[in-house]
Chain A
Amino acid sequence: MTRLRLNDAVMHRRVLITGIGIVSAVGRTVAGLWESLTSLDDPESSDRNAAPRHNGLQQGVADFTGRIDDFCELPAVTRKAIQKSLKLMNRETQMGVAAGQQALQDSGLLLNHDPERIGVCFGAENFPVMAEDFQSGVQACSDGSGFDPNRWGQDGIPEVAPLWLLKCLPNMPACHLAILNDLRGPGNTITQRDVSANMAIAEACRIIKDGTADAMVVGATGTTLSSVDRRPSCLEDSVSNSRHEAVCRPFDLRRRESVPGEGAGVIVLEEMHSALRRGASIYGEILGAGAASWMTQDSIVSGRTALVKAMRQTLQRADVASDTLGHIHAHGLGTVMSDIAEAQAISQVLGDFAQTVPVVAAKSHLANAGAGSGMLELIASLLALRHGHLFPVLNYSEADPACPVRPVRNCHDAAGSCFLNLNLFGRGLASCVAAGTFRG
C-alpha cells in the first residue's frame, strides 16, 4: 500500500454522483445551465475586439427571487414546508435549498430511503448580518442627531425578529434540507470560502467510504455581490467595482478583476452498491480529493504551491495518471495574480501535457459565487462528461504568456472521461477533486 492511499477498510466503497441541482446566474435549471454554457460558441469569440460577453453577471440570479415558485416542482407537502420556512432563510440558504431540492428530485433517492443513512454536507460563506433585519430597530433608537446606542437594549432589540439569529447561521442550508427531507445522517457545513465546495465533497466521501452513511447531499452556496452586508468582498482590490461593466476573462492577457456573483450547486453522492441497487442515473464517480496550504506574502507562490500539492495528492489518491485527464475545470477567477498562480500550478503538475489538456472556467459565464462556485463548476463539468464536449471560456482571446494553459474557445473539445475540479483561495489554500465517468 502506498502511503497516501486510503486503508483497505474504506477503499472498496466507491462514491457515485446520482443527482445534481443548481441556482446560477444563467438560470435555475440544470438544462438551462448547459444550454447557456454552450450557447455562445461562435468564431467571434477569438476576436479581441469583439464586445465582451457575460450572461447576466453582476445582476445576481435574476430569475431567483426567493418565492416558492422559483423552487423546482415539489410535492405539495414539501412546497408548504418551504413556504413556511422562507422567512427563516437568507438568500444563500434559499438558493442552497432550491438547488438541493432539485438534486434530490433528480436523484430519486428519497423514494425509499433510510433517513439515518443519509447526511448533508455543505460549503457556505459566513452569512452577514443584513441591514434589513436591523433597520426598524435602528430607527427606533434614532432621532435627528443620529443613532443612540444607549437605547438599543430597550427600544431596538424588541424590533428584531425573534428568529433573526437563525437566519445568519451558515449551517442553515444543510439544516433546512435535512428537515425538509428527513435526512438524519451526519450534517456539517464547511466555511472555508472559495475552497469550501471541494472540501465538502471530500468530507462527504470520507463519511460514505467508512460506512457512516450511504448517501450524502453535498452542496455549496455563496455570493460575492457587494452591499453594506458584504464589506469584506468590497474591500478586496481585485474585485470589480460596480460602477463599470465588469468582464470576467480567465487567463486572458487583458483580464483585470473577478466579477461578483451568486449561486448554489448541490450534488447527491451515493455509495456505489446503493446507487446500482436502485437503478439510479449516474453522472459520474468521485475518484479522489486533496487539499493543501502554503502561506507566504507572495500570493502567486502561495496559490501555486498549495494547488500543486492539492492536485498531486488528488491524482495519487484517485490513482489517475495526469496524462489521462480529459479536462481541467480551473478556479479561473479572472484576476491577474490568481490566474497566474493557477496556470503555473497546472503547468508544474502536468508538464508538457498542460499545453494540450483543455481548461474550462465557468466563472466567465457565472461570475464568482464565492463558496458556491466550486460546486457549480463541478456540475458544469459533469454535464460536459455527459454531453461529451466542453464549453468555451468566455472573453478569452489573447493568451497571456504568464498563463501556460489551453483555455477552451468553443464547444468542439471533447470533455474526456475524467477531470480535475480546482478551488483556490488567494491566501494559499487549495482544494481539488477528481471525478470521472463511472465504469462499473
Chain B
Amino acid sequence: MKRRIVVTGIGCVTPIGRTIQELQASLYAGRIGVGNLTLFDATCFPVRIAAEVRDWDLSQVGVDSRRWQHCPRQTSFAIGAGLQAAHQAGVLDARIDLERFGVYLGCGEPFEDFQTFAASIHSSSRESGGVESDSATQHALRVFDPDTERESEPDMPAMHLGEMLNAQGPILNCISACVSSTQAIGEAARMIRQNEVDVMLCGGAHSTIHPFGVTGFQRLSALSTRNDNPQAAVRPFDADRDGFVIGEGAATFIIEELEHARRRGADILGELTGYGSAQDAYRVTDSHPDGRGTTSALQRALASAHLNPEDIDYINAHGTGTILNDRVETLAIKHAFGEYAWKVPVSSTKSMLGHATTACGAIELAVCLLSLQSGIIPPTINHEKPDPQCDLDYVPRNAREVNCRHVLTNNIGFGGQNAALIVSRFDESSRAARRAA
C-alpha cells in the first residue's frame, strides 16, 4: 500500500500576510505587496521597487527577536513560518518519534553586507588590476562580524528549526534556483513515502532584496523597471509585462504520513498527491523554447498523482511576468494539458506577492491549499492587455469561486530547473488514492 502524505500545518510570512489568515484575506482582495524599496538606499539604482515583508518581528510568534539579530531576513521568515506550521499541526505537543521527524527546506543564498564587501575589495585592489587576496582576507577578517557570517549560510534556517522543534531525523536544505522550495517539499514527501520518516517540516524562505540581488537580477534584465508605478509593475501574462519584482518571505508545512496524522488526531488540510521534477537540459539562462522541462515536470506530477489533466481545477503558475517565462510556461501547460489547457483556470499570485525566488514555490503551495479549503482561487492582478501567445484563462483581476478538488503549482528556475506539486482535498477514498494503492 502506498503511504499517503497529508498536510497538517501551514505557516507563512509574506509581503501581503504574516499569517496564513492574513495571506488569504489579501489574496482574495487582490492586495498588491509591491512598493518602494526601503531595505537599503536604492535611490541611484535602476530598480527601486520590491515586495517587502513589512512590520515583521519574531516576537509575533513568541520568540525573543534579540537572540536572532545576527540572522539574515530569510532565517527570521523561516522561523516564523516554521513555528506557525508546527503550532497548527500540534507537533510540538504530540508524542511523535523524533528520530522520524526531519526538516527539508529550500532556502537561498544569504548575501554578506555589501558595503563591507566593497570596502574589502577597495582596500585590497592592486593598481595594476586584480585583488590582493591575502590582504582582502585579512581585511575581511577584521571587519566582518563573525556571528553574522556564521549565520549567512543557506542551511541555517533548517538547522535552527530542527533544533527548535527537536527534530532528530534528517535536516537538509536544497538550492535549485526558483524551484528550491518546491523540490524541498516534493523530496521531503518522497522520504515519507519511502518510509524513512513519518513527519517533515518542509518549505522555504528567501530574501534577495539586497544590493547583490538587485544587481544580479537587473544585469539579467529580469526586473520590471516600473519604478513610478509599483502596484502595476508585476503583470504576469499581460502583453505589457516587463519583468518581475523581487519579493521575499517564507512558507513552511508540516507534512506527514496519513495514518500517523490520524493516530494523533491531527486536522488534515489537504493531501500531497503529486510531484514532478525535470530539467530542461537546454541553457542556464533561459528555458527551452518548447518548454520541454516544464512540460515534463507537469506530466510527471500528474502521473505520480494518478490524475488526468481534467482532474486539475486550478493551476498556480510560476508566472513571473517576464516575457519569456510567461510564454514558455503557457506553452508547457498546453503541451501537458492538451485541450483542457484552455479550460483550467491559471493564475499568478506573484502579481501580488512579488517573486520570493527560492521560497516562491512553498508560498504558492500555501495559496493552493487555501483554494482547496475555501473554494476560491486568487486572481492575476494587472492582467489587462492580452498577449496572443498567452491565451489561457488567467483569472484576471478578481478572485473566483471554483470547487477545487485537485490543484497544481508549477515553478521554473534558472539552470533549466522545473518542478510541480499537486495537492488534493483530502478524501478517504479518493480516486487518486485508489489508483495509487
Q: Is A337 in the interface zone, CB < 8 Å from B?
A: no
List, in ascending order, chain A residues with CB within 8 A of B283's CB.
Answer: 179
Inter-subunit contact A210/B194 (CB<8 Å): yes
B154 contacts which of A191, A226, A231, A309 (Cβ < 8 Å)?
A191
CA distance A248 to B410 in the complex (A): 47
Inter-subunit contact B281/A162 (CB<8 Å): no
> What is the minimal beta-carbon distance from B348 to any residue of chain A, in angstroms?
22
With A184-B292, A188-B176, A292-B169 known as contacts, the answer to whether A169 contacts B282 (CB < 8 A) is no
> What is the minimal beta-carbon distance from B118 to any residue of chain A, in angstroms?
5
A228 contacts which of B124, B159, B196 (Cβ < 8 Å)?
B124
Q: Is B114 in the interface zone, CB < 8 Å from A?
A: yes
Which of B75-83, B213-221, B266-274, B313-321 participates in binding chain A?
Answer: B213-221
List, in ascending order, chain A residues with CB within 8 A of B342's CB.
Answer: none
Q: Is B368 in the interface zone, CB < 8 Å from A?
A: no
Inter-subunit contact B300/A212 (CB<8 Å): yes
Inter-subunit contact B190/A206 (CB<8 Å): yes
With A126-B153, A188-B176 known as contacts, the answer to whether A429 contacts B109 (CB < 8 A) is no
> What is the minimal beta-carbon distance from A289 to any residue of chain B, in angstroms?
9
A188 contacts which of B109, B174, B221 (Cβ < 8 Å)?
B174
Inter-subunit contact B136/A7 (CB<8 Å): no
- B interface: dominant SS: mixed
A157 contacts which of B122, B177, B219 (Cβ < 8 Å)?
B219
Q: Is A186 in the interface zone, CB < 8 Å from B?
A: yes
Q: Is B212 in the interface zone, CB < 8 Å from A?
A: yes
Q: Is B168 in the interface zone, CB < 8 Å from A?
A: yes
Which of A55-63, A66-74, A113-121, A359-367 participates in binding chain B?
Answer: A113-121
CA distance A119 to B296 in the complex (A): 13
A169 contacts which of B144, B193, B415 (Cβ < 8 Å)?
B415
> What is the minimal beta-carbon distance from B290 to any residue of chain A, in angstroms?
12
Inter-subunit contact B194/A175 (CB<8 Å): no
Q: Is A171 in the interface zone, CB < 8 Å from B?
A: yes
Instruction: Mark out the residues of chain B between 70 and 103 whose CB falls within 8 Å of any chain A CB in the assembled complex.
Output: 99, 102
Binding site for A on B (CB under 8 A): 1-3, 41-46, 99, 102, 109, 111-112, 114-115, 117-122, 124-125, 129-131, 133, 136-137, 139-141, 144, 146, 149-150, 152-155, 158-159, 162-163, 167-177, 183, 187, 190-191, 193-196, 211-212, 215-221, 277-285, 292-293, 296, 300, 304, 413-417
Binding site for B on A (CB under 8 A): 3-7, 9-10, 85, 88, 115-116, 119-120, 124, 126-127, 129, 131-132, 134-135, 138-139, 141-142, 146-147, 149-154, 156-157, 160-166, 168-172, 174-176, 178-179, 181-193, 195-196, 199, 203, 206-207, 209-210, 212, 226-228, 230-232, 234-235, 291-295, 309, 317, 427, 429, 431
- Top 9 nearest A-B pairs (CB, nearest first) are A165-B216, A175-B415, A153-B45, A228-B136, A153-B44, A291-B170, A186-B277, A187-B279, A178-B279
Q: Would you list 22 pairs from A and B whose C-beta atoms are within 8 A, ordered by A residue?
A: A124-B175, A146-B122, A147-B118, A149-B118, A150-B44, A152-B44, A152-B114, A153-B43, A161-B219, A165-B215, A175-B416, A179-B280, A179-B284, A185-B278, A189-B174, A190-B172, A192-B155, A193-B153, A292-B170, A293-B102, A309-B99, A427-B159
